[in-house]
Amino acid sequence: MEPDHWHQRWQEGRIGFHQAQPNRWLQQFYPDLLLKQGEPLLLPLCGKTVDLTWLAEQGHPVVGVELSAIAIADFFHEQQLSAKRSQQPPFIRWESNLITLLEGDFFHLTRDDLPPTPVVFDRAALVALPAEMRQRYVTHLTTLLPAGSRILLVTTDYPQEQKIPPPFALSDEEVHTLYGDHFDIQRLHTETLTMGQDPLSKRGVTSLVERIYKITRR
C-alpha cells in the first residue's frame, strides 16, 4: 500500500473504514489502559476518526498521523474546530487545543515529534497494511515507544480470500509474532460478529472475528 493508494481513496471518497461514532472497543476498554489524567495518546494512520475528539474530551492530548490533507481538513471541518497550521518537517502540523494532527508519512515519525511515553490506539493502522509492511510498522512503532507505553490494538480476522483488502485479516498468532519480542501481550476480548453486525458481510465475507489487545512495551 503505497501513499498514492491512500491519497486516491480519499480523493475518491472510498473510506468505508471510517466510523461515524467513537469506536466501541475504545470506549469499552479505555479503563484497561489505566490512563492518568492528561496522559497523551498517539493514533497512527488516523484518517478523520472521531476517536480523536472522544479522547480529547476525556482530557488527553492526542496526536494523529495521517498522509492525506483531505482527511485532516475534513476532520477539523466536521468537528467544527479551527486548526493552526505550521511546519514541523517532514510534517505539516495541524493543531487545535488538545488535538494535533501531523500530515505526512508515519514511517518518518521520530520520538522528537511526540510527547513522552504516549499510549497508542490502533483501530485501523495495522489492519490497513499488507504483510510485508506490518513488520516494518511494528518495528518502527517499537523505536517510538519507551518502556511502559501501552497499545490498545483492534484486529479483524476473516477468510482473506473472500475479500480484497484492506482491511487485512490478522490472526492471533501473527499478533504474537509481530509484537512478542518487545511487548507483553494481553488479549482483552474476542468477538465473533454475526452477519448483521459484520460490516464486511455485504462484500461477501462469511465470518469475521474482532480481537482487542492491550500490548505493553517492556
Most confident region among 47-51, 195-199, 202-206 by mean pLDDT:
47-51
- Nearest alpha-carbon partner for 157 in 115, 114, 182, 126: 126
C-alpha cell at 83: 486548526
- Nearest alpha-carbon partner for 167 in 206, 128, 126: 128
Residue 162 is predicted with a pLDDT of: 86
Residue 160, pLDDT above cutoff 80 = yes
Buried b (16+ CB within 10 A) or exposed e, 38-53: ebbbbbbbbbbbbbbb
Instruction: Map out the domains of the chain with their CATH numbers.
Output: 3-11+23-29+38-217 (3.40.50.150)
> Furthest-apart CA pair in the chain: how many Å?
46
pLDDT in tens, 28-84: 999 999 999 999 999 999 999 999 999 999 999 999 999 999 999 999 999 999 999
